[in-house]
Amino acid sequence: MPPPKNPCAGVNPKAVNFVSANYKAAQAAAASINTTTANILGLSGNESDWGGSPIAQTYNNYFGLTYPYPGNNGQYASPNGITYSIYPSPGFPNSAMGFARGRQGRRVAALPAISPETFAWALTAPPMAFNSLNGTFQAYVDAIGTARAAINCVFGHN
């Protein structure tokens, strides 16, 4: 009988650490808008480079939320030319709830299905997309896949 497959083999270590640190807060935000924890973690992973981006590390914004987004307590003018919302600590739960309370949260909550593709489509399809840039739909779907693999690695389910 072959040995059981290591569920962490090949999973991005940054994603594993990110999921370990933020699973519970992601679960709460996901429940509030009727979606999956993996969808929230994948979205945030893509928008914050699995929590390693300067905007997440310094300004507690794990979703790339521009200014003004609900729940912010200030603004940060990035050298990249865009102004972002700052969130109070702890950053992940506060910015996740900010995302959930905004227009996009309501859009996700109204979806008839919770698959990664439906979730990513709702956030990237115009009009009034959360992020309509070229390639973002696939980037979200791929990041959600990585988040699911990381959840399986850490908790043994997804």
Partner 1 sequence: MGNKKRMMVKIIRHSLTAAFFVLLFFVGVRSQDQQTLATQSPQAEPLSLTEAEVLVYLLPRAREVRRQGGRIGWEVETGPSQNTTDFYNFWVVDNKQQGHIGSVTLGYFSVNKHTADVWDQVSDKVISPDEELQGIQKILRDGHHINAQTLEKYRDVNP
Binding site for partner 1 (CB under 8 A): 12, 14, 45-47, 49-50, 52-55, 57-58, 63-66, 68-69, 78-82, 102-104, 129-131, 133-136, 139, 142-143, 146
Nearest CA among 127, 52, 119, 120 for reference residue 92 = 52
Nearest CA among 95, 107, 93 for reference residue 85 = 95
Give the total residue count for the chain.
Answer: 158
Nearest CA among 120, 154, 149 for reference residue 46 = 120
For partner 1, which is the closer residue by CB, 52 or 90? 52
For partner 1, which is the closer residue by CB, 6 or 134? 134
- CB-CB contact of 131 with 100 (8 Å): no
For partner 1, which is the closer residue by CB, 24 or 103? 103
Phi, psi values for residue 85, rounded to 5° = -80, 140
Q: Tell the smallest beta-carbon distance from residue 49 to partner 1 (Å).
A: 4
Q: Tell the smallest beta-carbon distance from residue 105 to partner 1 (Å).
A: 11
Q: Tell the smallest beta-carbon distance from residue 35 to partner 1 (Å).
A: 17
- The neighbour count for residue 95, using CB atoms within 10 Å, is 31
Q: Tell the smallest beta-carbon distance from residue 33 to partner 1 (Å).
A: 15
For partner 1, which is the closer residue by CB, 55 or 154? 55
